[in-house]
Amino acid sequence: MLMPKLVRVRFAPSPTGYLHIGGARTALFNFLFARHHEGQFLLRIEDTDVSRSKEEAVQQIFNSLRWLGLEWDEEPVYQSDRIHRYQKICQDMLAKGKAYYCFCTQEQLDKKREIARKEKRDYQYDRTCLQLLDAVIHEKLSKGVPRTVRFLVPEGQTTFQDMIHGKITVQHSQIDDFILLRSDGQPVYHLAVVVDDHDMKITHVIRGDDHLSNTPKQILLYQAMGWPLPSFVHVPLILGPDQKRFSKRHGAISVEIYKDKGYLPDALINFIALLGWAPKKNEEILSIADLIVRFSIKGIHKKSAVFDEQKLLWMNGVYMRSKHPEDLYDAVVDVLRSHALIDAFKDRQNILKYIHLMKDRVKTLQEFASKGDYFFKDPVAYDEKGIKTYWNAKNVKDLFSQLKTRIANIHPWNEQSIEKCIRELAEKQNMQAGEIMHPTRLALTGVSASPGLFELIVFLGKETAILRLEKAMKYLDLKSGLQDEVGQLK
């Protein structure tokens, strides 16, 4: 029996842009694995490519992770702070003959690659600089000729065990003498990852399987340094609807965009957790706590999954309905404010009531603004189809007139008395209650779908309800006037 191993994992984004869905899921898997094993979840910023790294991106990534609830342990490690460490490791490898200086220029290399391409040969660095005499190397070094450091790939093959894919073997003949240190002294990815994962005492490297092919290179580095290997876990990528790697081409890809679209963080977490991973039982709705309990690398698939926003939308609706209005309050206020609808809702209780009425029929936060604007704004138009079906009867205006009077006299102002009022009117008119309610809803909201009419009227208040009925009556007058004119013209 193995002793339980201390688990330390890391999420290592490069700060070239926002945190995207794929990155978020990789971070989530790392997070879940760490929390499940009561280990550490660390962050490392891979900013060795100075030209592509941006400080704002780092903050964006932090914000997105926090919004998702993926809190990390310890201070994030910045690779840009560790240049000297990488250079030192390179010196060691140079001294041990595991690496060599290369003075070839970018242009020379490009040319060789081009020739190989034309001759339909596979290109691999030809080791020109490996043949250099020590004296020549020293001379170039002392003159400060720009140079890189290349890893000397040994003969043979590398086999390693991936926790998802199993045994993987790659022939060294397939591996180029890759560059360790760029001519500007910056390390290249493979070197930095290996050194950092070792120094950070990472036990499990959990990352996208786009890194699978490169893993042997890194294993060679571990071996060259005489370091123990971490476990490798290569999770499948997330694909767009066209089955291609999920990217900007697919439109919405950053976590931030999903936040702006009105998705809830726990819904997004739940959804991406299920992309490429499944719990043992057929469970679909899982809180982050549930996910932590259930998470296991065994449940991760080999196959990449397509991101299906429709299912996300459904899941978000499930979360929306399960929330208490208080939990949604801040987010909804933000949305209402951004749509300039907030003034009508100075009262917190009012907004909570609104959330209560709407949350069951809304799938995103955004819809609190787009689907319920009539709660705080008089309708500016009436749904055409609604007009045809509900306002065609001749007595509609008269109905509204009677309703108006009755509403004015309702006391106390509550659901029960409003319902009673409408049902009594229906009885008196010898009509079905619905025959009054539908036209009324249209008058009050401008649309034909809304929360329960009685609750809605309570919410609007006596004054607004009467005002809107009057407005509808005016519209009806105008409409019939127009029809008369048309009739006369004929």
Taking CB under 7 A as the criterion, which residues in 204-263 touch RNA? 209-214, 237, 239, 243-245
Instruction: Judge whether 355 and 325 are in contact, CB under 8 Å.
Output: yes
**Smallest distance, Å, CB 346 to RNA?**
26
Neighbours of 196 (CB within 10 A): 21
Give me the 268-287 binding string for RNA, x by CB under 7 A, dash otherwise. ------xxxxx-x-x-x---
- Binding range to RNA, per CB under 7 A, among 252-260, 329-337, 445-453, 465-473: 445-453
Q: Which of residues 375-434 bind RNA (CB under 7 A)?
A: 433-434
Residue 337 beta carbon to RNA: minimum distance, rounded to whole angstroms: 24
Q: Which of 82, 294, 441, 471 binds RNA (CB under 7 A)?
A: 441
* Dist CA 429 CA 277 (whole Å): 60
DSSP state of 245: B
In angstroms, the CA 209 to CA 235 distance is: 5
Residues 112-151 that bind RNA (CB under 7 A): 113, 120, 122-123, 125, 146, 148
Closer to RNA at the Cβ: 214 or 417? 214
| Binding of residue 104 to RNA (CB under 7 A) | yes
User: C-beta of 410: minimal distance to RNA in Å?
Assistant: 16
Site string for RNA, 40-59 (x = CB under 7 A): ------x-xx--x-------
Q: In angstroms, what is the minimal distance from the CB of 386 to RNA?
A: 9
**Which is closer to RNA, CB of 248 or CB of 474?**
248
461 binds RNA (CB under 7 A): no
Strands 179-181, 148-151: pairing is antiparallel
Q: Which candidate, 127, 58, 57, places its Cα nearest to that of 99?
A: 127
Minimal distance, residue 299 CB to RNA, in Å: 6
Full strand arrangement of the beta sheet holding 204-208: 166-171, 157-162, 231-235, 204-208
Do residues 173 and 153 lie in contact, with contact meaning Cβ atoms separated by under 8 Å? Answer: no
Pick between residue 84 and residue 303 the one whose CB is nearest to RNA.
Answer: 303
> Hey, which bits of 193-337 come out as E strands?
204-208, 231-235, 238-239, 305-306
State which residue, 96 or 311, has the beta carbon closest to RNA: 311
Mapping DSSP to helix (H, G, I), strand (E, B) and coil, where does residue 426 land? helix
Q: Are 42 and 6 in contact (CB under 8 A)?
A: no
Rounded to the nearest whole angstrom, what is the least distance from the CB of residue 395 to RNA in the complex?
18
The per-type count for the chain, helices as H runs and strands as E runs, is 20, 12
**Residue that is written with structure tokens 């931030």 in the block:** 256
Figure out which of the listed residues 153, 454, 458, 472 binds RNA, where binding follows CB under 7 A: 454
- Inter-residue contact 329 to 363 (CB < 8 Å): no
Q: Which is nearer to RNA, 112 or 342 (CB)?
A: 112
Cβ neighbors of 304 (< 8 A, separation 6 or more) are 209, 236, 237, 238, 239, 276
- Closest approach, Cβ 35 to RNA, in A, equals 21
Instruction: State the nearest-atom distance from the C-beta of 268 to RNA, in Å.
Output: 14
CB nearer RNA, residue 186 or residue 203: 186
d(CA 260, CA 57): 17
How far is it, in rounded angstroms, from Cα 368 to Cα 414? 24
**449 lies in the binding site for RNA (CB under 7 A):** yes
Question: Which range touches RNA (CB under 7 A), out of 1-9, 249-257, 342-350, 435-443?
Answer: 435-443
Nearer to RNA, 434 or 461 (CB): 434
Contact map string, positions 293 to 332, toward RNA, x by CB under 7 A: ------x-xxxxxx-x-xx--x--xx--x-----------
Nearest CB to RNA, comparing residues 327 and 415: 415
Q: Kindly state whether residue 361 participates in binding RNA, applying the rule CB under 7 A.
A: yes
Count residues contacting RNA (CB under 7 A)?
84
> What positions carry a catalytic annotation?
248
Of 243 and 488, nearer to RNA (C-beta) is: 243
Positions 156 through 215 that interact with RNA (CB under 7 A): 165-166, 168-171, 174, 176, 178-179, 182-184, 186, 188-190, 192, 209-214
For residue 47, what are the CA distances in angstroms to 146, 258, 313, 426, 448? 22, 25, 34, 71, 54
CA-wise closest residue to 464 among 436, 439, 438, 445:
445
Decide if residue 21 touches RNA (CB under 7 A): no
Quote the CA–CA distance of 249 and 240 in Å, as a whole number: 9
- Shortest reach from residue 213's CB to RNA, in Å: 4
Sign of CA dihedral 241, 247, 251, 257: positive
In sequence order, what DSSP letters do the residues of 87-127 get, joined into one string?
HHHHHHHHHTTSEEEE---HHHHHHHHHHHHHTTPPP----
